[in-house]
Every structure is written in structure tokens, then in C-alpha cells.
Amino acid sequence: MPKLEFRQAIRDALDEELDHDDRVIFFGEDVALPGGVFATTGGLAEKYGSERVFDTPISELAITGAAFGSAVCGLRPVIEIMFGDFLLLSMDSLVNQSAKYWYLSNEQASVPLVVRSAVGAGGNFGAIHSQNPISWFHNVPGLKIVAPSTPSDAKALLKAAIRDDNPVVFFEHKRLYSMKEDVAEAGASVVAELGRAAVVRTGADVTLVSCMKGVHDCLAAAELLAGSGVDAEVIDLRTIRPLDRETILVSLAKTNRLCVVEEGPVTGGWAGEVLSVAIEGALHDVDDAWRIATADQPIPYSPPLEDAFLPSADSIASSVREHLGASVPTTA
């Protein structure tokens, strides 16, 4: 069975959508001839030419403004903002223009653009190259937020995002780019449905909910918990906005316990929104609900401090043990 690498999945999705629709264009810093700083876009410029795949000056606001302008003029731009931390420089075009244009135009003009960006800690990139800025966009009506955890999902969700008529922020965790996954057909042109979570491990005792790298931490924690007789169900949200409330509530009806794992500051994070789903939608069925997130402080540069700062399989399992009163073995 062939293997698909996460970075190759991103490249394949872009390639297939550029081939599928002549309106799709792709641009950003070092994405064309250099092939992207994370080696995700090699060969696209040579294949599709400089009018459809091209490098830009170092100006995130200019890149996003050009994407907005080309989208409302009939194209379907995909742009790359190299690090998610730099999305602050794109806020006006994304939040005040792209996200609101459908409403301001009285539903006469859509804005089909996709913003790809690498996010996440664990690689010792420091405080301003390691953030996970989902919460910055979480309360913006009109924006969709996608956060895949596997190569196959990355490909299928990126294809769906490019075909969507709304602006989509597509987050790629840096620690997943080298992940490989067995796939039935590496070139299969599957297009996912935005807003659908996936139950990636079934269980009966507690529901663990996360996205991106957090899903793999939850799966590893579930294996630790299984050693002490705790059966954990793991949900991969896949998209943060729209949020698949139904899948969460169906799982809670079975487990009655919810732990949400977010790589991001505990204050104002998307994990709180997931907890509100439990409170508002299934309060009478939930015995316990809590979240695991990072402290309200900048991300440390020091490798051991960064490791201690982030949620991990051990810390997730330990937290579940504390809440359920179960004994959980730790990794070596």
C-alpha cells in the first residue's frame, strides 16, 4: 500500500485543483521557484507558469489584499502566509473585507479564497514563530477554519477549501509535515466535506477532542489509558469553524465525559467553545468536562521548557486519570 506524506498531500491537492479549474491561482513568499520553506509546493510554478503560480514581495497584507481583489474579480486564489504568527499583518483584508463581503454585497459576490499557513510549536522556533492562532479568527463570521491531522485529510480538506465559495483559513501544523500515512490510492481525488469531524478511535469511558497534532497526542494518551482499563474515544474535529456539534454530542451520550485538548492559550481558546457544546447541548448527560491547553504565556524557546509547556500524551493521560480516578502508566 503506498504511503502519502503530509507535505506531499498539500502539494498534490494544489496540483489537482490548479489542473481542475483555470480560475485557481497560487502565490505567496517563496512558494514558486523555491518550492516553499517547508517543501510543500515544488514543481507547481514550472508546471503551471508564472501567471498562475508566483512569488510575491514580503508583505502579508499585500498578499492577502491581492487575494481578496482577485477573488471578487472571479478568480479562486490560494495564498501562503509562511508562518501563522504573521497572519496578524493580514487581519484587515481577511476580517474586515474577505469575511464580510458576502454580507456587505447583499449576497451578490462571494470571496472564494484560501489562506494556507504553517502553525504550531514543538520545533523550537521561539515565541513568534510557534503560535497556533486559531482563536484569532474563531469569532469572525464568514471565515471557515480548517485544521487537518493526517495526510489524507490534509489533501481532501484542502481540495474542499479551494472549491468552497467562502474565505477559508487552512492551518498546517509544522510537526506533521513529515508524517506519512498508508493510503489505498495516493492519487485519489477525494474532496472532503467541511464541517464534519471524524471519530478516529471508539471508546466508552471518556471523549477526547482535538485537532492537528493534538489528535495524535490524544491517540497516544488513549493507548496509555487502555493499559489501566480506561476506554477513550478520540474525535478529530478537522474543521474548527464550522464545528461539528452533532458528532461531539453523540459521543458524549455514550461516554458522559469530555476532555478537550488545545495547543493554544487556555484563555479565549476554541476548546472553550467545545465545552459550551457539552454544557448547552448535553448538560444532563455529562458527568465531567474539562480542557487541557497551554498556559497564558509566550511559547518558550528552550527545548525542555517547550516540551513541558505543550500538552502531551502523558499529560493528557494523567489529567484523565485525575478526573476518572484511574491509574495510568506513563511512557518511558
Express each pLDDT in 118-175 by its tens digit.
Answer: 999 999 999 999 999 999 999 999 999 999 999 999 999 999 999 999 999 999 999 9
pLDDT at 75: 98
On the question of a common fold for 3-182 and 198-324, the answer reads yes
Return d(Cα 60, Cα 25) in angstroms, integer.
17
Least confident stretch, 65-79, 176-190, 205-219, 293-307:
176-190
284, pLDDT greater than 70: no
Among residues 128, 117, 139, 125, the alpha carbon closest in space to that of 67 is found at: 117
Domain positions in the chain are 3-182, 198-324
Stronger pLDDT, 326 or 294, i.e. the higher one: 294
What is 198-324's CATH topology?
Rossmann fold (3.40.50)
Show which residues are catalytic: 129
Average pLDDT over residues 245-271: 96
* Domain covering 3-182 in this structure, CATH number: 3.40.50.970
214, pLDDT greater than 50: yes
Stronger pLDDT, 62 or 2, i.e. the higher one: 62
pLDDT at 186: 47
In 134-212, where does DSSP find H-type helix?
Answer: 134-137, 151-163
Backbone angles phi, psi at 222, to 5 degrees: -60, -35
Torsion of CA 210, 325, 256, 272, to 10 degrees: -40
Average pLDDT over residues 271-284: 87
Return d(Cα 177, Cα 106) in angstroms, integer.
40
Average pLDDT over residues 246-264: 96
Return d(Cα 100, Cα 141) in angstroms, integer.
8
Strands 239-241 and 144-146: antiparallel
Q: What is the pLDDT of residues 58-101, one digit of tens each?
A: 999 999 999 999 999 999 999 999 999 999 999 999 999 999 99
